[in-house]
Amino acid sequence: MQIGFIGTGVMGGGMARCLIEGGFDLVVHDAYREATTSLQAMGAKWGANPREVAEQCDLTITSLPGPAEAEAVFYQQPNGILAGLKPGHTYLDTSTSSPALARRIATACREKGGHFLDAPVSGRPPKMSIMVGGEPEVLDRYRPALQAMSRDIFYFGDNGQGMVAKSINQFLMYANIILASEGLLLAAKAGLDPELVAQMLSVSGASRFFPKDIFENIVFPRNWERVPAGPGPLDRWVKDVGCAQETALAINAHTPLLTIVQDTLKRAQAQGWGDLVNFVGVRAQEQAAGVELRGKGAPGA
End-to-end CA distance of the chain: 57
Q: Which residues contact 10 (CB under 8 A, 6 or more apart)?
A: 228, 229
Q: Which one is catalytic: 166, 212, 239, 266?
A: 166
Active site residue 112: no
Q: Which helix (H) or strand (E) holds 117?
A: strand 115-118
- Between CA 242 and CA 236 the distance in angstroms is 10
CA 88/CA 209 separation, integer angstroms: 45
Beta bridge partners of 2: 25
Residue 148 to residues 23, 48, 128: CA-CA distances in angstroms? 9, 25, 10
Please report how many Cα atoms fall inside a 13 Å half-sphere around the Cα of residue 112, on the Cβ side.
20
The CA-based diameter of the chain, rounded to the nearest angstrom, is 66
Q: Cβ of 78: how many Cβ atoms within 10 Å?
A: 8
CA distance 9 to 16: 10
Rounded Cα distance, 207 and 270, in Å: 32
Q: Which one-letter DSSP state was computed for residue 204?
A: S
Q: Is the peptide bond before 256 cis (omega within 30 degrees of 0)?
A: no
Write phi, then psi, for 159 (nearest 5 degrees): -55, 135
Half-sphere exposure of 32 (CA within 13 A, CB side): 9
Question: Which positions are catalytic?
Answer: 166
